[in-house]
Amino acid sequence: MNQPNYLARLIDLKERIEQWRSIGPACSKTEWNDMEDAWNDIDELMRLIKANDTYIAPGYRLKKANKYWNMYNVKNIETVKIAKGEIHDIFLDNKKKRNGKGIS
C-alpha cells in the first residue's frame, strides 16, 4: 500500500494530541472540547488516507493539521509548566526521543 509521506506526520500529530489529553484536568472545558474536535478531525483524515490509496488530502485539511501541530506543541502548553511529576517527566522523555537523544 502506497501511503502519502504526510501520513507519518499525522500519526505523530495524533500522538501529540493524545499526550496533551493526559493533562486534560488542567485545561478549560473549551480547550478540552477543541482538543477532542482536533483529535476527531485528524482521526477521520487518517482513516480516509488509509482507506483509499489514491486519496489526496485537501490543502485546507493539511493546513488545519499544521495549525494543530503548533497548537498541541508541548512548548506551547502553559499547563505543562505547572504539571510536575509523572506527566512532566513523560513530556520530557518524549521530547528527548523526538530530538534523537533517547532516554538515558
pLDDT digits (tens, 9 = 90+) for 25-47: 566 788 888 889 999 999 999 99
Close Cβ partners of 59 (under 8 Å, ≥ 6 residues apart):
none
- Three-state secondary-structure class, residue 83: coil
Count other Cβ atoms within 10 Å, centred on residue 103: 8
| Residue 80 near residue 74, CB atoms below 8 Å | yes
Q: Is the pTM of this model over 0.75?
A: no
Question: Structural domain boundaries of the chain?
Answer: 6-77
Q: How far apart are CA 72 and CA 24, in angstroms?
A: 12
Q: How far apart are CA 36 and CA 39, in angstroms?
A: 5
Q: How far apart are CA 16 and CA 76, in angstroms?
A: 12
What is the chain's mean pLDDT, rounded?
Answer: 77
* Helices (H), ranges, 56-102: 59-71, 78-82, 86-98
- Report pLDDT digits (tens) over 61-78: 999 999 998 888 765 555
Average pLDDT over residues 72-97: 62
